[in-house]
């Protein structure tokens, strides 16, 4: 591992579990890290106790990290990491853009996964509106915050249209247990990261319905085919969906006990109403809002997405889970490559 760091300090925006884990990663890499979140009480707790008891209670953050909810306390940073939920990216970016301290950043990294409802824009496209003169990158992959916080072996991909920036960001996220690769296909990895979430809900539903391993494996495989079809139509390259940001992330979120989307699906399959599930946790299951935005984007582009259509019908049209799964199995036969 190279010891030379291209950037000396970082600002992590968003104090959920993933933001907390990435804060620890950057601090361990040797960077000076500022950590910002909206909740004053939570950020005071983190600053005073070095723990985020709400989202990642098992992790003790280094004393060098400066946590705050006050925008006026933020100092200029070379590297800015956006880790707020996808639906909050536009508002947060707009607020942050008003700070002169952030205009000097060398790169802004998007770590959320989603497509904006109505506009159909990727998250880096939204960030570019507030930071038109700053390089933008994406960090994505099969990365559960719970495992990263325990320094378990992890791999991710950094995507940026500028190869030199991608390599610099890669250096910041390289540790003996955290390995990163680079890509220049920003559109591909962003669409892959957004699309895997609804399919994780479907995999959870199949588990809740006790459909068996064969059915879940078939569902995940056809989900990947659908992701490629949609992602390529939106400007991504097929090979990006075969990498960490595509099939890697899809497998992790469709099968892992840490996946919020998988949990939501399992509970739906077991008969719990969606509203009850969503109100029972502070954690954001991105697959629920992602389903609406992705379904709208697919219809606008004319992309065939039978799996996504049924997921949408279950989440937003109250279609019974068993009926939706039956509809998928009773579709007309076709070649696997279609």
Question: Is 284 known as a binding-site position?
Answer: yes
Is 21 marked within a binding site?
no
CA pair distance 111, 243, nearest whole angstrom: 17
Tell me: is residue 245 an annotated ligand-binding position.
no
What is the distance between the alpha carbons of residues 249 and 292, in angstroms, rounded to a whole number? Answer: 20
Does 98 belong to an annotated binding site? Answer: no
17 is in an annotated binding site: yes
Q: Is 196 a catalytic residue?
A: yes
Q: CB–CB of 43/54 below 8 Å?
A: no
- Report whether 261 belongs to an annotated binding site: yes
Other C-beta atoms closer than 10 Å to the C-beta of 194 total 28
From 196, 301, 319, 322, the catalytic residue: 196
DSSP sequence for 93-112: HHHHHT-GGGGG-SEEEE--
**Is 54 marked as a binding-site residue?**
no
87 is in an annotated binding site: no
Task: Give the integer Cα–Cα distance in Å for 155 and 162.
Answer: 21
Q: Which of 218, 238, 220 is nearest to 228 (CA)?
A: 238
Is 249 marked within a binding site?
Answer: yes
Contact assessment for residue 140 and residue 113, using Cβ atoms and an 8 Å cutoff? yes
Cα(101)–Cα(51) distance, integer angstroms: 26
Rounded distance, CA 203 to CA 219, Å? Answer: 7
Tell me if 260 is assigned to a ligand binding site: yes
Q: What size, in residues, is the chain?
A: 338
**Residue 83 labelled as part of a binding site:** no
Distance CA 47, CA 297 (A): 41
Hey, what are 168's tokens? 């610099």
- Residue 48 marked as a ligand binder: no
Specify which residues 56 forms β-bridges with. Answer: 52
DSSP 171-224: HHT-BTTEEEEEES-HHHHHHHHHHHHHHHHHHHHHHHTT--HHHHHHHHHHHH
Binding-site positions for substrate: 113, 260-261
Binding-site positions for sn-glycerol 3-phosphate: 113, 141, 196, 249, 259-261
Binding-site positions for NAD(+): 14-19, 145, 260
Binding-site positions: 14-19, 38, 55, 113, 141, 145, 196, 249, 259-261, 284, 286
- Residues designated as active site: 196
Binding-site positions for NADPH: 17-18, 38, 55, 113, 145, 260, 284, 286
């Amino acid at each position: 591992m190279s010891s030379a760091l291209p950037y000396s300090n970082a600002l992590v925006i968003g104090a959920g579990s993933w933001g907390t884990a990435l804060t620890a990663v950057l601090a361990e890499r040797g960077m000076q890290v500022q950590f910002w979140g909206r909740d004053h009480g939570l950020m005071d707790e983190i600053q005073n106790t070095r723990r985020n008891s709400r989202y990642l209670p098992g992790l003790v953050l280094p004393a060098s990290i400066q946590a705050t909810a006050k925008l006026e306390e933020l100092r200029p940073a070379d590297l800015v990491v956006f880790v707020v939920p996808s639906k909050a990216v536009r508002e947060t970016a707009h607020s942050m853009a008003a700070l002169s301290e952030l205009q000097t950043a060398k790169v802004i990294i998007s770590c959320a996964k989603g497509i904006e409802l109505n506009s159909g824009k990727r998250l880096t496209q939204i960030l570019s509106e507030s930071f038109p003169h700053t390089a933008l990158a994406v960090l994505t992959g099969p990365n559960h915050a719970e495992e990263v916080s325990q320094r378990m072996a992890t791999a991710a991909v950094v995507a940026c249209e500028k190869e030199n920036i991608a390599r610099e960001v890669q250096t910041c996220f390289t540790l003996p247990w955290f390995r990163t690769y680079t890509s220049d296909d920003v559109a591909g990895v962003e669409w892959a990261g957004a699309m895997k979430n609804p399919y994780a809900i479907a995999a959870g539903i199949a588990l809740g319905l006790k459909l068996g391993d064969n059915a879940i494996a078939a569902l995940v495989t056809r989900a990947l085919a659908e992701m490629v079809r949609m992602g390529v139509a939106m400007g991504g390259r097929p090979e990006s969906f075969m990498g960490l940001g595509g099939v890697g992330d899809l497998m992790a979120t469709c099968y892992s006990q840490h996946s919020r989307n998988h949990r939501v699906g399992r509970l739906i399959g077991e008969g719990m109403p969606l509203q009850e599930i969503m109100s029972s946790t502070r954690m954001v299951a991105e697959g629920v809002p992602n389903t609406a935005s992705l379904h709208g984007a697919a219809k606008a582009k004319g992309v065939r997405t039978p799996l996504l259509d049924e997921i949408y019908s279950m989440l937003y049209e109250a279609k019974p889970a068993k009926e939706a799964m039956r509809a998928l199995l009773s579709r007309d036969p076709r070649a696997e490559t279609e």
